[in-house]
Chains A and B, each alone.
Chain A
Amino acid sequence: MQEYRVLLIEQNRIMMERLSSVVKNTKGFQLVSRYQDPREALGQGGVFVPNLILLDIDILENIQFVREFVRAFPQAGILCLSDQWNAQAASTVVKAGAKGYLIKPFTSEELIAAVDTFGKSGMGMLSEIMTFFSPKGKSGKTTLIANLAMALAKKSGQNVAIIDADLQFGDMAVFFNLDPQSTIVEAVRDINFLSPITLNSYFMPITDKVRVLCGTKRPEFAESVSPQAFTDMLSMARSLFRYILIDVPPAFNPISVAAAEASNSVYIVSMISGGFEVKHTKRALDIFKSWSDYEKKVKTIFTRVEPCNHESQRRIENQLEYPISCIVPNEYLLVSAAANNGRMAVDIKPESPLAQSIDLLASRICGRQHKVG
């Protein structure tokens, strides 16, 4: 097990004592040196060969030292400390090269969770949010999201989150057979008191890389989720996951609109079932036309396309007068059996046509060089 050699910079004496004692009492962590002034740390800290720097940024000018610490201690990871979460500051320090952001005072558990979470990939400022919207519901999008999240994690090797924002009738917990202790309701309620590390614990783990923030347990709880707090939660989640997939309820409502606005891409998902799906998709597309970059941001997916081939895709594209990014074949029995058993994570075999078409979409998403911020 790797030993963390900690260099602590904290201006406030009492806080410094408090944090020092937490570091010393955490297994696997050793406090090698501590300073009140970052300039002293830059000058003298090197002799102690730290590999983890905890830098207080409540003293605002300390933010500008992040870059110098990166240069002076290239082998060390830098975590910035603050007494409250500030998305703007977090984004600034991460761009300057810090690995993450930790709320102080922290506990041993939080310190360990922070190095575990940020150690792997760093705080993900390269995060990409995707919202999956279906005009009328029954589009196969929950299945699509569940499988796409798995595929993205496998291809990118990075953390992926699913957020079930279908507040009244979200099915993600059933799909993965979860009995969540915390849901989107609690995460959004608590958001003002959370930091990325504590928010992470509201997401239920599915695999090593994929986590789910489940929907409400009862429809009446949905009312307590305000769009503003929901957006705040999304911006914090950005620092934890490379990809965030949001499942929103059918039709436009304040939450689906907030999710779409916070997203890098919006996917309109519809199932071919002999009705007016194409017409509804067109109508939904119209709403996004007010976005200047809507042709880049808004994409369409059709499920249960039979036969699932280029001809079908072209035929629907002609009706729709808009490109389709992905078509998914009908695998009703396979999907319903997997959903019934809560085995979405394991039952859909990679060689099935369904998995293969979703895999193709995942490759395209991973291949996209996406710049954020």
Chain B
Amino acid sequence: MDEEIRNGILITVFSTASAVGKTLLSINMAAELAKTGYKVCVVDLDLQFGDVCNYLHISPQKTIYDAQMAIQKNINEFVATDYTTVYQCKELEFSVVAAPLNLEEAYNISTQAVSAFISSLRNTYDYIVLDTTAAFSDLNLAVMDLSTIITFVGIVDFIPTIKNMKVGYDTMRSIGYEKNKIRFVLNRSNSKTHIELQDVEQLLEESFYHVLPNNFSTAIESIHKGIPLVVDSERTTLGRSMQDLVAKYTNRLQETSKPDASLSSWVKKLFK
């Protein structure tokens, strides 16, 4: 199995507003994919203020900066997995590429080296999840180009955020990303807000691919424990919803998730 040449699926988790839950979603997607049996790696591309290691309570020996140094030294001898840190919890494990340890290093990361690193990770992992920052930076654009899917996370809290989501989506379309490459995920759907989901969908002229419920305290608890929601709190609505989202990405239908829906579509087919 390990000898087989993979061409891993690249999922970028992006947003146009900060603090919408990109990191939490990234690590839970990774955990759920790993649980399903895939080889998974999360890359922290919030180079300056990345939280992936904070959220998982791991202390990396190597970071993306070390990987860049090695690539720049001699790309032919570069072994991508030497620069990952393994996260383990119960039977589950996945790899993490940590953000640089200090800001100077972060400031000096080259887009070219990161692209080369990610391409090389593709040979080892089935899924690579990229946690980004809320900006159309050179780096983010480069990795979005490489990505199979862009998960565009949004929250419906107030008008400026929605304006930026719209502007961001228009920008992505204008630079040539296909509609079906971009998947909108709405986080914290039932939080305090006066704005209707339908109004946002109308503005975006797109519907949300998935909607995650608001469960701020569960999310915070998971961060403080350093354990992804899908591992520890399968019983929570947020954890389950994250699992459903991943199921959609892997085309694996969860038997328990929507029995009614599958029945009705089967019935519909029957009467066509």
- Could you tell me which A residues sit within 8 Å of B by CB distance? 135-138, 142, 168-169, 171, 174-175, 218-220, 222, 249-253, 271, 273-276, 279-280, 283-284, 286-287, 332-333, 336-337, 339-340, 342
Contacts and interface: CB of A to CB of B under 8 A. Distances in A.
Contacts of A287: 103
B136 A219 contact: yes
B19 interface: yes
Contacts of B133: 250-251
Interface of B: 16-19, 46, 48-49, 51, 54, 102-103, 107, 133-137, 157-160, 163-164, 167-168, 170-171, 174, 192-195, 220, 223-224
Given A138-B17, A138-B18, A286-B103, A336 B168 contact: no
A253 B103 CA distance: 11
Contacts of A274: 220, 223-224
A339 B160 contact: yes
B18 A280 contact: no
B15 to A, nearest CB: 10
Contacts, number: 94
24 contacts: A135-B48, A136-B19, A136-B49, A168-B136, A169-B16, A169-B164, A174-B159, A175-B160, A218-B167, A220-B136, A222-B136, A249-B135, A251-B49, A251-B133, A252-B48, A274-B220, A276-B51, A276-B54, A280-B49, A283-B48, A283-B103, A336-B157, A336-B158, A339-B158
- Of B17, B19, B167, B168, chain A has the most CB atoms within 10 Å of the CB of B19
B103 to A, nearest CB: 5
A220 B195 CA distance: 28
A171 B160 contact: yes
A340 B49 contact: no
Contacts of A283: 48-49, 102-103
Contact of B192 (A137, A138, A279, A332): A332
A168 B49 contact: no
A368 to B, nearest CB: 29
Interface of B, helix, strand, loop or mixed by DSSP: loop
A137 B18 contact: yes
Contacts of A174: 159-160, 163
A284 B107 CA distance: 12
Contact of A169 (B48, B159, B167): B167
- Of B17, B49, B158, B164, chain A has the most CB atoms within 10 Å of the CB of B49
Contacts of B46: 136, 251
Nearest to B170: A218
Contacts of A253: 137
B167 A219 contact: yes
Contacts of B19: 136-138, 271, 273
A335 to B, nearest CB: 8
Complex A-B, nearest 9 residue pairs according to Cβ-Cβ distance, in ascending order: A137-B18, A138-B19, A171-B160, A138-B18, A336-B158, A274-B220, A169-B164, A340-B159, A174-B160
A276 B223 CA distance: 10
Contacts of A250: 18, 49, 133-135
A250 B49 CA distance: 10
A135 B195 CA distance: 28
A299 B136 CA distance: 28
Nearest to A174: B160
A339 B159 contact: yes
Given A169-B16, A333-B192, A219 B49 contact: no
Contacts of B195: 340
Contacts of A280: 49
A134 B85 CA distance: 28
Contacts of A136: 18-19, 46, 49
Contacts of B194: 336-337, 340
Given A252-B48, A339-B159, A275 B103 contact: no
Contacts of B103: 252, 283-284, 286-287
A274 B217 CA distance: 9
Contacts of A220: 136, 171, 174
A249 B102 CA distance: 19
B219 to A, nearest CB: 9
A56 to B, nearest CB: 46
